[in-house]
Amino acid sequence: DTEVTQTPKHLVMGMTNKKSLKCEQHMGHRAMYWYKQKAKKPPELMFVYSYEKLSINESVPSRFSPECPNSSLLNLHLHALQPEDSALYLCASSHRTSGSTDTQYFGPGTRLTVL
Amino acid sequence: GNSVTQMEGPVTLSEEAFLTINCTYTATGYPSLFWYVQYPGEGLQLLLKATKADDKGSNKGFEATYRKETTSFHLEKGSVQVSDSAVYFCALSYRGGTASKLTFGTGTRLQVTL
């Protein structure tokens, strides 16, 4: 089973709201990722967690706050977003093997609209 | 640095036509290569992968061969179906610190008509 689940599927929020995106995997993967994808563009990496520790932050604004409560769960907390943050947010996970052979498996995404 | 170049789309084909989507890469070291597919309104699905030179990845009738001499990983399918209509992303994976990182191409939209 190579399933990564994400909730909610759609989210509409105002610029003053606080909301959270959730991601879950039960494949025993030890690396988890957040990506942002704008229309007609490839995904852009935001954050990487490796063994529940933040490993990579691609200079993402602080209004996005990731959290990894355990090895199966990944959250993305959203606060004071801007309309340009509207996008598809994708979660992915991988075994975190050494070298470059690690394969990332993606969830279905959360479609976020910021009004 | 690492980069992936894909052919511009959209690619429009009739059902049962032969498909080729070109992908070339620039990388240091020995990356792994992937094709991901994204159907409308969905996330990315792994289509196939190859981890070393001359490896052939295959899945659902799609194939791609890791060619180190031409730095290419072209996607092919002998007979496309309407259900193959989607965006296809070529990507390479490299070790970035303590985790792997993916570099994506720009994506190629495939439209298959009856």
Q: Under the phi-then-psi rule, with left for phi > 0, alpha for psi from -120 to 50, and beta for the rest, what region is B61?
A: left
A&B contacts, CB < 8 Å: 80
Residue-averaged pLDDT of chain B: 94
Q: Which residues of B touch A98 (CB under 8 A)?
A: 95
Q: Is A42 on the interface with B (CB under 8 A)?
A: yes
Q: How far is B53 from chain A (nearest CA, A)?
A: 13
Mean local confidence (pLDDT), B29-39: 93
- Would an 8 Å CB–CB cutoff place B53 in contact with chain A? no
Is it the case that residue A86 has pLDDT exceeding 80? yes
Whether a cis peptide bond, with omega within 30° of 0, leads into A66 is no
Q: Using the predicted structure, report yes or no on whether residue A98 has a pLDDT greater than 60.
A: no
Is A106 within 8 Å of B107 when comparing Cβ atoms? no
What would the pLDDT profile of B35-89 be if each residue is shown by its tens digit? Answer: 999 999 899 999 999 999 999 999 999 999 999 999 999 999 999 999 999 999 9
Q: How far apart are the C-alpha atoms of A69 and A73, rounded to whole Å? A: 6
Percent of chain B surpassing pLDDT 70 = 96
Q: Can you give the pLDDT at residue A84?
A: 96
Q: Which of residues 1-30 of B touch A (CB under 8 A)?
A: 29-30
Residue-averaged pLDDT of chain A: 93
Nearest by CB to A56, which of B36, B46, B96? B96
Query: H helices within B1-114, ranges in order?
Result: none
What is the chain B residue with the closest CA to A6?
Answer: B43
* CA B95/CA B100 separation, integer angstroms: 4
pLDDT of B110 = 97
**Which residue in the set A40, A43, A96 is minimally distant from B104, CB to CB?**
A43
